[in-house]
């Protein structure tokens, strides 16, 4: 039986929340550009230094392992000292990892490269964790939009970053460094700038202020303190972890499936680009739906959209233009379904977790997401090798439906959210 969550003291003054969002948007745009380095050239660097195409996927595993450690560490630091040191230190860690990658590639030192990729992955975990900071001081009925705003800012840098691979590679070459280190040079600058922005300007600290306001509310109501609403945390975590597992599994093997059936590398790249755009660009609209329609309906919709993505990918012809178009549509749906789950799940967890336990709880949820992503990446290859891409896509879609009974259970338990959510989320 779950205990009732603490009463929400209401939103912070609008000017304070606006300032917090501006700082987060600026830092996330920078962080997104840094995150793009790993996506753009991480596998190519590993292939170059290791001399093996089969090991080119190793950076994905290292990013995922690092992200799990980073999410746990940043969550604990934020829990104890606030969002500002947690997020700033995370971005600084990514900058240090980027320096290590550049040094390893220049010296052609494999152990240093692998360790640096792990450190880089640990730092990049803060790119997603920042979405929670945007919702700390938001009114319950505005948390979805606040989360969506921060996620959209990440897209700005992530989309621009790959386009700078050529210019940054030229800079690296001019400095007698390997061209592939160019995006990581950008990551050093971007993550360092993001860390400074957060350390200097994320004031007041949104989590600490939310905690103070909650403490004041508890004092006025006779000293009662809140506890995490178990049903809401479980439902939100399940939605996000399932979405991450399904999304990573299908996304990872789609380029392999396409190039293996005669599609060009450019076509596969376009499909993945559309997918990444669909992951983040709908965030403001998703946030609006989460606030207006409700957390639970949007979370349920995420399972349906992910199922549709899996079925469409399974039915797409493996060759020809029609196959490319249908796979592109499937991957767009895959990104949208993931986005629906991430924004609604984040709001559910934030609603259910009391401020005194919120950051640690959110960090643990993101550890689960990182582990799910690593699992999806590893299992997807085995499924495709044993049964084919169509079975992978179909099974992933069916797995996505697992969120529906969990969401239904949370809907039956009215103990997961703030009191004001009865109008906007159920």
pLDDT, tens digit, for every residue of 256-309?
888 888 888 678 878 877 888 899 899 999 999 999 999 999 999 999 999 999
CB count within 10 Å of CB 4 equals 13
- Radius of gyration (C-alpha) of the chain in whole angstroms: 21
Please tell me whether residues 293 and 412 are part of one structural domain: yes
Region 379-399 average pLDDT: 90
- C-alpha dihedral sign at 191, 67, 377, 238: negative
The pTM score is 0.82
Given this model, what pLDDT does residue 268 score?
Answer: 80
Please tell me whether residues 290 and 149 are part of one structural domain: no
What is the average pLDDT score of the chain? 84
Between 10 and 352, residue with greater pLDDT: 352
Please tell me whether residues 235 and 184 are part of one structural domain: no
Write down which residue in 187, 208, 226 finishes a domain.
Answer: 226
Please tell me whether residues 219 and 302 are part of one structural domain: no
Pick from 35-49, 160-174, 180-194, 210-224: least confident: 210-224
Region 353-361 average pLDDT: 83
Please tell me whether residues 31 and 8 are part of one structural domain: yes
Write down which residue in 226, 241, 258 finishes a domain.
Answer: 226
Q: Which domain holds residue 416?
A: 229-426
Please tell me whether residues 110 and 239 are part of one structural domain: no
Region 193-201 average pLDDT: 96
Number of domains composing the chain = 2
Region 42-52 average pLDDT: 72
Q: Is the pLDDT of residue 157 over 70?
A: yes
CA distance 393 to 388: 9
Given this model, what pLDDT does residue 74 score?
Answer: 92
Q: Which long-range contacts (CB under 8 A, 24 or more apart) does 48-51 make?
A: 48/105, 48/178, 48/180, 49/104, 49/105, 49/108, 49/110, 49/113, 50/110
CA distance 124 to 129: 9
Please tell me whether residues 190 and 269 are part of one structural domain: no
Confidence bin at 6 (pLDDT 50/70/90): very low
Please tell me whether residues 175 and 218 are part of one structural domain: yes
Please tell me whether residues 181 and 234 are part of one structural domain: no
Task: Kindly state the percentage of the chain with pLDDT values over 70.
Answer: 85
CATH classification at residue 350: 1.20.1250.20
366 touches 353 (CB < 8 A): no
Copy the structure tokens of residue 308. 């549709």
Please tell me whether residues 236 and 183 are part of one structural domain: no
Please tell me whether residues 292 and 250 are part of one structural domain: yes
Please tell me whether residues 299 and 150 are part of one structural domain: no
Find out whether the peptide bond into 204 is cis, omega within 30 degrees of 0.
Answer: yes
Write down which residue in 192, 226, 260 finishes a domain.
Answer: 226
pLDDT tens-digit readout, 322-354 = 888 999 999 999 999 999 999 999 999 998 887
């Amino acid at each position: 039986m779950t205990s009732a969550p603490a009463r929400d003291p209401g939103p912070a003054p609008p000017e304070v929340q606006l300032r917090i969002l501006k700082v987060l948007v600026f830092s996330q745009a920078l962080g997104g550009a840094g995150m793009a380095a790993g996506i753009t050239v991480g596998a190519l660097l590993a292939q170059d230094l290791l001399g093996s195409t089969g090991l080119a996927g190793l950076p994905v595993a290292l990013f995922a392992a690092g992200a799990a450690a980073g999410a746990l560490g940043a969550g604990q630091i934020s829990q104890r000292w606030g969002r500002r040191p947690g997020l700033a230190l995370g971005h600084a860690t990514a900058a240090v990892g980027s320096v290590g990658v550049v040094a390893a590639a220049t010296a052609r030192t494999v152990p240093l490269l692998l360790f640096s990729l792990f450190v880089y992955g640990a730092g990049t975990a803060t790119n997603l964790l920042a979405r929670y900071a945007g919702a700390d001081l938001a009114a319950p009925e505005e948390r979805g939009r606040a989360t969506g705003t921060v996620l959209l800012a990440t897209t700005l840098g992530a989309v621009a970053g790959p386009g700078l691979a050529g210019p940054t590679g030229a800079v690296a070459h001019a400095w007698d460094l390997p061209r592939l280190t160019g995006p990581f040079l950008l990551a050093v600058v971007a993550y360092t700038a993001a860390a400074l922005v957060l350390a200097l300007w994320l004031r007041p600290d949104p989590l600490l202020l939310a905690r103070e306001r909650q403490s004041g509310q508890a004092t006025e109501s006779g000293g009662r303190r809140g506890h995490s609403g178990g049903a809401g945390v479980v439902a939100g975590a399940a939605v996000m972890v399932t979405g991450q597992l399904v999304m990573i599994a299908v996304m990872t093997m789609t380029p392999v499936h396409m190039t293996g059936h005669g599609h060009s590398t450019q076509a596969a790249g376009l499909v993945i680009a559309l997918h990444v755009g669909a992951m983040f660009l709908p965030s403001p609209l998703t946030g609006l739906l989460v606030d207006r329609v409700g957390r639970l309906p949007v979370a349920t919709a995420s399972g349906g959209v992910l199922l549709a993505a899996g079925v469409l990918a399974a039915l797409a012809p493996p060759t020809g233009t029609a196959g490319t178009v249908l796979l592109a549509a499937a991957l767009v749906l895959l990104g949208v379904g993931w986005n629906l789950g991430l924004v609604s799940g984040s709001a559910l967890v934030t609603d259910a977790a009391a401020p005194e336990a919120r950051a640690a709880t959110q960090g643990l949820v993101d550890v689960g997401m990182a582990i799910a992503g690593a699992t999806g990446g590893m299992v997807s290859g085995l499924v495709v090798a044993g049964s084919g891409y169509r079975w992978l896509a179909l099974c992933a879609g069916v797995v996505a439906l697992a969120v529906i009974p969990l969401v239904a259970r949370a809907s039956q338990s009215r103990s997961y959210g703030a009191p004001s959510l009865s109008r906007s989320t159920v």
